[in-house]
Amino acid sequence: MSDLTKVLLDEADMPTQWYNLVADLPQPPPPVLHPGTHQPVGPDDLAPLFPMALIGQEVTAERHVDIPGAILDIYRLWRPSPLYRARRLERLLDTPARIYYKYEGVSPAGSHKTNTAVAQAYYNAEEGVRKLTSETGAGQWGSALAFACAQFGVECEIWQVRASYDQKPYRKTMMEVWGATVHPSPSEVTEAGRSVLAKDSASPGSLGIAISEAVEMAAGAPDTKYSLGSVLNHVLLHQTIIGEEALLQLAKVGETPDVIYGCTGGGSNFGGLSFPFLREKLAGNNDVRIVAVEPSACPSLTRGRYTYDYGDTAGLTPLMKMHTLGHDFIPDPIHAGGLRYHGMSPLMSHVYELGLIEAVAKNQMECFDAGVRFARTEGIVPAPEPTHAVAACIEEALRCREAGEEKVILTALCGHGHFDMGAYDRYFAGDLTDYDYPEEKVDQALTRLPDFEV
């Protein structure tokens, strides 16, 4: 153990490969199925939406994938990202635990999403794609993709979930600064959007609806493709740069984590941080517990069903076997917009079924309280999403205090909250409430799962 507070890696030591956990799993994840035939999808089925390079990464069994030089060049704008020891938070909690956080808010768009956005924009540009469409919940993914598209001269069109479009107007402006076009979702621009508005003209939208809109636009235009900011294997692959760096940084200070906590929306920052550590665990080099932290209002891992479902509300995407609350489940409007997704990454779901990770759910009041304690000690104002992980770290550190245990706790502070002051405002004004698991709503949505047996 050293007395460093900020553990930096030299630029020259930045990892140059992404890590693919699939290569080391005892069983491969179940296949993705065609929504019409219910047969495994092939590359041709996905070609209207994704470039071949990303389709290849989606199904690869290679353990490592080289990161192209043009992507490394852009990563170097903010990577390697710092790993901090949360000394002042530890002191506040009076805990013998040592808490480390890998800070991804240093990227131009303010979150980990740029790690995959840059890669996706690069591979699309290489294959001559003119425009990318996508959805954004809290605005972090949309701004990351807008930034990345600007780097490679690709046009960018984004559907932003209505609730966040209204709550976080500066995220929209940020996307526009980087040259993107932004629509509130549901919109009148697409068939999927119009059909939702016909039923509910005041719909607050959802990630599932916004995905339907972006997919519909990409499927209908030959020079346009679609980009997803989480959930898919290639996205988790790109995020492993986080965990690969963290492994090197912890080794530098002679530490091995006993437990990793990460917030999970679609599972990408959590997978990106934890998969390299899981590789080491499977190889017998550590005995780390890996715990996903999700919102109680959208508890896909802890309360969802593990079954084949669509990735979007309209049912345009292939069927993925994942933990799901039902593709037309619309979660309550908690402020962690990035965690309001009905499903969970199929790879993360598979890893959960294999018993390699655990999951817990947290309510938003406890999370905002943790976010404020973190900001007042460590200085960084976390986005509402990673406050879920921070709350779990605090709980663990207090357990360590009771038990007199010196555990090493690791988390990803995957984004800053500079565009979330409205949410903190409402927290201080006492306007926030906890949403319990809406059992009836989920039961209803689960009755509309795709109807077939595998």
Ligand X SMILES: *Cc1c(COP(=O)(O)O)cnc(C)c1O
Closest to ligand X by CB, 197 vs 394, is 394
Distance CA 73, CA 68 (A): 9
Q: How far is the CB of 93 from ligand X (least distance, A)?
A: 23
- For 110, list phi and psi in degrees, rounded to 5: 90, 10
Closest to ligand X by CB, 224 vs 230, is 230
Closest to ligand X by CB, 90 vs 378, is 378
Q: How far is the CB of 12 from ligand X (least distance, A)?
A: 28
Q: Which residues of this chain interact with ligand X, rule CB under 6 A?
A: 111, 113, 140-141, 230, 263-270, 338-339, 383, 385-386, 414-415
Q: How far is the CB of 266 from ligand X (least distance, A)?
A: 4
CA angle 350, 235, 298 (to 5 degrees): 60
Give, in order, the Cα–Cα distances in Å from 341 to each of 77, 300, 324, 334: 30, 8, 9, 12
Q: Give all strands (DSSP E) within 217-256, no chain letters.
A: 224-226
Closest to ligand X by CB, 262 vs 318, is 262
Token output for 239? 């995020």
Token output for 117? 């956005």
Closest to ligand X by CB, 140 vs 233, is 140
Closest to ligand X by CB, 95 vs 227, is 227
Q: How far is the CB of 270 from ligand X (least distance, A)?
A: 6
Q: How far is the CB of 268 from ligand X (least distance, A)?
A: 3
Q: How far is the CB of 15 from ligand X (least distance, A)?
A: 19
What pairs with residue 295 in β-bridges? 362
Q: Is 152 helix (H, G, I), strand (E, B) or coil?
A: helix
Token output for 224? 């346009």
Distance CA 333, CA 424 (A): 15
Give, in order, the Cα–Cα distances in Å from 213 to each of 73, 134, 174, 192, 220: 32, 8, 21, 6, 11
